[in-house]
């Protein structure tokens, strides 16, 4: 399994909008093959900072999700990017296990 921690900073005062759009993305991923965890969080000290915690069965599953066409009524990558004041920061993770993962979280 692989993980990603995405940190995004919205334009001043637009963190709630960014979180709402990312929650729509998360809803679209519900049941997507290989998506184990996709959690949206807003920084308690800085609400314009939004983080996405992802766990995928493998990199191919994560790439398939990125390549999937947006739903007609759902947000597009451009919708997310328009809300950002800076480029998102991605941290790649090796998932070792934990609560909420299938089986023991190991590949």
Written as tens digits, the pLDDT of the chain (107 aa) is 999 999 999 999 999 999 999 999 999 999 899 999 999 999 999 999 999 999 999 999 999 998 888 788 888 888 999 999 999 999 999 999 888 887 654 44
Give me the pLDDT at residue 103, please: 67
What domains are defined for the chain?
2-94 (3.30.70.100)
Q: What is the pTM of this model?
A: 0.88
User: How far is it, in rounded angstroms, from Cα 100 to Cα 107?
Assistant: 15
The pLDDT of residue 107? 46
SS3 sequence of 24-70:
HHHHHHCCCCCEEEEEEEECCCCCCEEEEEEEECCHHHHHHHHHCCC
Residue among 27, 26, 28, 10 at smallest CA distance from 18: 10
What local confidence, expressed as pLDDT, does residue 74 receive? 83
């Amino acid at each position: 399994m692989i993980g990603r921690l995405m940190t995004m900073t919205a334009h001043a005062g637009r963190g709630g909008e960014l979180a709402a759009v990312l929650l729509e993305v998360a809803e679209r991923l519900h049941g997507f093959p290989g998506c184990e965890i996709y959690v949206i969080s807003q920084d308690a000290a800085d609400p314009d900072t939004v983080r996405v915690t992802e766990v995928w069965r493998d990199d191919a599953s994560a790439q398939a999700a990125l390549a999937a066409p947006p739903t007609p009524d759902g947000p597009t990558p451009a919708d997310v990017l328009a809300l950002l004041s800076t480029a998102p920061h991605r941290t790649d993770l090796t998932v070792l296990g934990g609560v909420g993962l299938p089986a023991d979280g190991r590949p």
